[in-house]
Amino acid sequence: MASAANSLRLCLRSCSQLPTMRAARPAILASSLCLRRALSTTPLRGAAAEETTFDEDEFLETKRYNNQGEVLADMLKREDLDDADRARVKDMLETWNKVPQDVRDQIDATTRQVRQSTAQIRYQVKPKKASFWNDDEKDTDMITDEVGEDDFEEDDILSIGHAKLEEHREAREYARIAVWEMPLLTKFARPFEPPTEAQPLRFRYTSYMGEFHPAERKVVVEFSPKDFPGLTEPQQLKLMKLAGPRYNPDKGLVKMSCERFEHQAQNKRYLGDLVQKMIATAQVSIPLGPCLCLDPTDMFEDVPLDTRHHKLTSKPRFPKEWRMSEERRAELESIRRTAFELDQKKQKSGRLVDGVKIIEKHLQNVPVMEDQPVMARRVGKQPARKR
Partner 1 sequence: MSAPNCLRCLTRPSTAVLRHSIAVPNAVASWTASAPFSTTATAAAGPTKGARPTSQPKRMETGHIRSGRRVTISKSKHRKQAGARGKTPLPGERKAYRKKIQLSNSNALHVHWLSDLDAKHMLDAANVTKVMGLPDALVDQLRAVEAFKPKQTWGFFRKPSTLIRPETVDLVTRMQQAATDKQTLKLVLDGDKLTGKSILMLQAMSHAFFNEWIVIHIPEAQELTTAVTEYAPIPGTDPVQYMQQNYALKLIQNIRKANEKVLVRMATAYSHPEIPQQMPIGSSLMQLANSAKEPENAWTIFMALWKELTANTRGRVPILFALDGLSHIMKVSDYRSPAFELIHSHDLALVRLFTDCLGGNISLPYGGAILAATTRNNVQRSLSMELAIAQREAEQLGAEKPLRQAYIRGYDHRVEAAMRAAQVIKVKGINKLEARSLMEYWAASGVLRTTVDELSVSEKWMLSGNGVLGEMERASLLTMRI
Binding site for partner 1 (CB under 8 A): 304-306, 308, 336, 339-340, 342-343, 346, 352-356, 358-359, 362, 385
139 Cβ contact list (under 8 Å, min separation 6): 146
The residues, any chain, with a CB within 8 Å of residue 57's CB and separated by 6 or more, are 119
CA-based nearest residue to 251, from 229, 225, 275, 233: 225
For residue 355, the minimal CB distance to partner 1 (Å) is 4
Nearer to partner 1, 105 or 354 (CB): 354
CB of 347 to partner 1, least distance (A): 8
Give the full edge-to-edge strand order of the sheet including 253-258. Answer: 202-205, 219-223, 253-258, 247-248
Nearer to partner 1, 170 or 341 (CB): 341
Whether 108 and 96 have beta carbons less than 8 Å apart is answered as no
φ, ψ for residue 109 (rounded to 5)? -65, -45
Residue 138 or 336 having the CB closest to partner 1: 336
**What is d(CA 108, CA 70) in angstroms, rounded to the nearest whole number?**
11
What is the rounded CA–CA span in Å between residue 92 and residue 73? 10
Q: 104 or 246: whose CB is closer to partner 1?
A: 246
Computed on alpha carbons and rounded to an integer, the radius of gyration of the chain in Å comes to 58
Per DSSP bridges, beta strands 253-258 and 219-223 are antiparallel
Whole-angstrom distance, CA of residue 111 vs CA of residue 69: 13
Nearest CB to partner 1, comparing residues 214 and 383: 383
CA 314 to chain centre: 43
Identity of the residue, 304 or 373, whose beta carbon is nearer to partner 1 in the bound complex = 304
Q: How far is the CB of 342 from partner 1 (least distance, A)?
A: 7
How far apart, in whole angstroms, are the C-alpha atoms of residue 276 and residue 104? 102
CB of 302 to partner 1, least distance (A): 11
CB 253, CB 266: distance < 8 Å: no
DSSP-derived pairing of the beta strands 247-248 and 202-205? unpaired
**What is the spatial distance between Cα 89 and Cα 81, in angstroms, rounded to a whole number?**
10
- As a whole number of angstroms, the distance between CA 256 and CA 275 comes to 9
Stretch (H or E) spanning 223: strand 219-223
What is the closest distance, in whole angstroms, from the C-beta atom of residue 332 to partner 1 in the complex? 12
- Between 323 and 386, CB nearer to partner 1: 386
- Which residue, 84 or 356, has its beta carbon nearer to partner 1? 356
Minimum separation from the CB atom of position 385 to partner 1 (A): 7
How far is the C-alpha of 268 from the C-alpha of 257, rounded, in Å?
9
Smallest distance, Å, CB 353 to partner 1? 4
In the complex, minimum distance from the CB of residue 319 to partner 1, in angstroms, rounded to a whole number: 15
Q: Minimal distance in Å, beta carbon 335 to partner 1?
A: 9
* Angle at 95 (CA atoms; ends 89, 99), nearest 5 degrees: 135
CB of 239 to partner 1, least distance (A): 18
Which residue, 190 or 386, has its beta carbon nearer to partner 1?
386
User: Which residue, 146 or 354, has its beta carbon nearer to partner 1?
Assistant: 354
